[in-house]
Amino acid sequence: MNILRIDSSARHDGSISRKLLDDVAARLGGPVTTRDLATEPLPQITGTWMGANFTPEADRTDEQRAALAQSDALIAELKAADTILIGAPIYNFSIPAALKAWIDLVARAGVTFRYTENGPEGLLEGKRAIIAIASGGTEVGSEIDFASGYLRHVLGFIGITDVEFVAADRLMIDADASMSKAGDQIGALAA
């Protein structure tokens, strides 16, 4: 099993989402490719990137190919993985900007999804995603959680519909109970 790990917490020391991913990776075993979005920030998409993305591959200039190179590399990592681990702390009720930049670079029409007469179709089927969410006060699944539903939707949009969550939410309210619940969720994951 090839595992792709995406860390998006701006914190390294004391990061709960990173600790949860450590525990999940240990539970699953197997080789892990790690992409740390805090250590290696990704660029935002630009007009040049958009123009390159919507130019047929055979017609792209060298500049356009260069503009898409990072996106191509991220998608290759995603395609090579059987399981994707995503660390997603909740910042201001949603995901970190670093994780949104990764999503913008991997959600590409004709590459990871396509439009059909029946609507969009994800092209990365047969993969599993485990998302470790940490929050200070936002309860995962509540009406103020704009992270978990978005991540489930966007992963499904690119074809990854086997999505599980490990949540250490409301840490500022009862950290011990939250971490215990997350530990139980990790223990219940199929290896």
Q: Percentage of residues in the chain with pLDDT exceeding 70?
A: 100
Annotated binding residue 9? yes
Tokens coding 186: 């990790």
pTM of the model: 0.96
Residue 191 has pLDDT above 90, yes or no: no
Residue among 88, 73, 165, 81 at smallest CA distance from 127: 81
Tokens coding 131: 């998302």
Tokens coding 60: 């792209």
CATH number of 3-187: 3.40.50.360
> Mean pLDDT score of the chain, rounded to an integer?
97
Backbone angles phi, psi at 182, to 5 degrees: -65, -40
Give me the residue spans of the domains in the chain: 3-187
Residue-wise pLDDT for 5-57, tens only, equals 999 999 999 999 999 999 999 999 989 999 999 999 999 999 999 999 999 99
8 A C-beta contact, residue 88 and residue 95: yes
User: Where does the pLDDT of residue 92 fall: very low under 50, low under 70, confident under 90, or very high at 90 and above?
Assistant: very high
Residue-wise pLDDT for 141-177, tens only, equals 999 999 999 999 999 999 999 999 999 999 999 999 9
Mean pLDDT of 75-99: 98
For residue 176, what pLDDT is reported? 97
Annotated binding residue 95? no
Annotated binding residue 180? no
Mean pLDDT of 97-102: 98
Tokens coding 185: 């969720």
Residue among 168, 162, 147 at smallest CA distance from 100: 147
